[in-house]
Amino acid sequence: MTGTPPPYVPGHGLLAGRDAVVTAAAGAGIGGATARRLLEEGARVVVSDAHARRLKESEAELAAEFGADRVAALPCDVTDETQVAALFDLAVERHGRLDIVVNNAGLGGTADLVDMADEQWDKVLDVTLNGTFRCTRAALRRMKEAGAGGVVVNNASVIGWRAQKGQAHYAAAKAGVMALTRCAALEAAEYGVRVNAVSPSLAMHPHLVKVTTPELLEELTSREAFGRYAEPWEVANVIVFLASGYSSYLTGEVLSVSSQHP
């Protein structure tokens, strides 16, 4: 039946004993859903976010459910290289290894090019593309040094493929994330690390509601074959697949998580 989300998929221990970092993991969006799904699959997780208060609340909730020994948190602004380095150092110090990195941090907005200021363009690119670059670089440096392989999953968007009015900065950033993913994958394959990305169309969460008009949300939802938006955990399930051994031969791929038709 269209319009109705499917039942939640329980964990199957796909990531037991693995250690992960998830950026922009506070709250009810894709990052928060991904942190939860990784924990449900048996991983230990370091969560980060630029919003310290929301991050502390998320850490407390996850630690209460999955155990304090499996959850750690550190605020991180991905536009700050010092903070990025501190996040990945914490992950290695906490668990002694780094197996999975999910780069979820991103920033959107709506503005036509003729009205867009340099500052608007720069901010979206710095968080969404440059932030993914900084975190990918930090992850690969540590994974290469450890010599034990690893997985990086980046969060792109179908807007990186498809045009949408008012989204030039975000579309350019997400297209850049896709290109970064492919290039990083070729380099990282030499030391056994896989780099892939997900490309969601429309996953509903509170932040999206705040920055998108009801009319646009209705229009975007109408394009989806299932007649509904994705639940954040449905995107997180695909991230779990890419982080697991079930995708062992995939690298440099961008998987569309979408039921959207042209």
pLDDT digits (tens, 9 = 90+) for 105-151: 999 999 999 999 999 999 999 999 999 999 999 999 999 999 999 99
Residue 224 included in any domain: yes
Nearest CA to 125 among 147, 111, 106? 106
Q: Which of 33-47, 52-66, 202-216 has the lowest mean pLDDT?
A: 202-216
Q: At 32, which amino acid appears? A: G
Reduced to 3 states (helix: H, G, I; strand: E, B; else coil), residue 100 is strand
Q: Which letter, b or e, does each residue of 231-250 get, where b requires 16 or more Cβ atoms within 10 Å of its Cβ?
A: bbbbbbbbbbbbbbeebeee
| Confidence bin at 46 (pLDDT 50/70/90) | very high
CB 42 within 8 A of CB 18: yes
Task: Give the bridge partners for 101, in sequence order.
Answer: 21, 152
Nearest CA to 198 among 185, 181, 186? 181
Residue 261 included in any domain: no
Query: If residue 131 lies in a helix (H) or strand (E), which one and from where to where?
Result: helix 131-146
Q: 9-44: per-residue pLDDT in tens?
A: 999 999 999 999 999 999 999 999 999 999 999 999
Q: 72-117: per-residue pLDDT in tens?
A: 999 999 999 999 999 999 999 998 999 999 999 999 999 999 999 9
| Confidence bin at 259 (pLDDT 50/70/90) | confident
Reduced to 3 states (helix: H, G, I; strand: E, B; else coil), residue 227 is coil
Token readout for 248 is: 């062992």
What pLDDT is attached to residue 209? Answer: 46
In this predicted structure, the answer to whether residue 4 has a pLDDT above a threshold of 90 is no
Residue 2 included in any domain: no
Residue 7 included in any domain: no
Token readout for 76 is: 């991180």
Residue 202 included in any domain: yes
CA dihedral of residues 174, 189, 136, 33 (deg, nearest 10): 70
CATH number of the domain at 71, please.
3.40.50.720
Nearest CA to 85 among 94, 97, 73, 77? 77
Number of structural domains in the chain = 1
Alpha helices in the chain (DSSP H): 30-40, 52-66, 81-95, 118-125, 131-146, 168-188, 206-211, 214-222, 232-243
Cα gap 224→206, rounded to integer Å: 19
HEC-encoded secondary structure of 59-91: HHHHHHHHCHHHEEEEECCCCCHHHHHHHHHHH
Other Cβ atoms closer than 10 A to 226 = 15
Which range of residues forms the domain containing residue 50?
19-254
Q: 168-181: per-residue pLDDT in tens?
A: 999 999 999 999 99
Residue 8 included in any domain: no
How far out from the chain centre does Cα 62 lie? 18
- Hey, which residues are catalytic here? 170
Task: Give the bridge partners for 74, in sequence order.
Answer: 48
Cα gap 214→21, rounded to integer Å: 33
Residue 42 included in any domain: yes
Q: What is the mean pLDDT of the chain?
A: 92
